[in-house]
Chains A and B, each alone.
Chain A
Amino acid sequence: EVQLVESGGGLVKPGGSLRLSCAASGFTFSSYSMNWVRQAPGKGLEWVSSISSSSSYIYYADSVKGRFTISRDNAKNSLYLQMNSLRAEDTAVYYCARDGTVVRGFDYWGQGTLVTVSS
């Protein structure tokens, strides 16, 4: 069974940093591109960042470029999001999501982890 479990969320002050993790199981993690998607309270979905299976290709939304860094460790079946210079508008539930290969879409999602940026 495919499972994605996020962790690392919490309360952080503006300007602070946080590192999110996503532990993957039930599939060959190293074969799939992975993504972070966030959802601010009461708002819609916002794609944040993507990383290819071998980390060769990395993309960011303009809203986080230069502040967030996506990475992965295929040996540990883990995806990460390093978030620096956090702002109030980064407050959201952060989901990791698997990029389908045959299926063009995000076919599996974690349960999400809440990041709150507030003084």
Chain B
Amino acid sequence: DIQMTQSPSTLSASVGDRVTITCRASQSISSWLAWYQQKPGKAPKLLIYDASSLESGVPSRFSGSGSGTEFTLTISSLQPDDFATYYCQQYNSYLFGQGTKVEIK
């Protein structure tokens, strides 16, 4: 099975900061990667698919990049609504990363 390693597990940041989260696959998954945002008590929300395509309605401050085994989710200027937990998911066997909690610094 392809394993996903997401880092960091927790990230402390301030409003306006540029934030980057990394997801590494144990073998190449081409661009078959999605990113989700989840807030406490809520269902996850799809942000990015195919590694770099922005889902409809998602603010443009979110971006994704990478292919093969290394991927990043970037928030260009962190907003108060962005404090949440973020997950990557490889679309080969649907496995999720462990999650990254973005906290207020």
A112 to B43, Cβ gap below 8 A?
yes
Contact residues of B between 35 and 79, Cβ < 8 Å to A: 36, 38, 43-46, 48-50, 53, 55
The number of residues on chain B lying at the interface, defined by a beta carbon within 8 Å of a beta carbon of chain A, is 23
A96's nearest neighbour on chain B, judged by CB, is B43
A110's nearest neighbour on chain B, judged by CB, is B43
A109 to B44, Cβ gap below 8 A?
yes
CB proximity of B10 to chain A, nearest CB, Å? 13
B55 to A45, Cβ gap below 8 A?
no
A111 to B46, Cβ gap below 8 A?
no
- Give Cα distance in the complex from A112 to B45, angstroms: 13
- Give Cα distance in the complex from A109 to B7, angstroms: 25
* Other-chain contact of A95, B43, B93, B99 (Cβ < 8 Å): B43
Total contacts A to B, CB within 8 angstroms?
Answer: 60
Q: How large is the interface on A (under 10, 10 to 19, 20 to 34, 35 or more residues)?
A: 20 to 34
CB proximity of A101 to chain B, nearest CB, Å? 11
B49 to A100, Cβ gap below 8 A?
yes
What is the predominant secondary structure among interface residues of chain A facing chain B? Answer: strand
Contact residues of A between 61 and 115, Cβ < 8 Å to B: 95, 97, 100, 103-107, 109-112
A107 to B44, Cβ gap below 8 A?
no
- Give Cα distance in the complex from A107 to B36, angstroms: 10
A47's nearest neighbour on chain B, judged by CB, is B94
Does A116 sit within 8 A of B, measured CB to CB?
no
Does A26 sit within 8 A of B, measured CB to CB?
no
CB proximity of A38 to chain B, nearest CB, Å? 11
Which residues of A have CB within 8 Å of B84? none
Give the A-binding residues of B (Cβ under 8 A): 32, 34, 36, 38, 43-46, 48-50, 53, 55, 87, 89, 91, 93-99
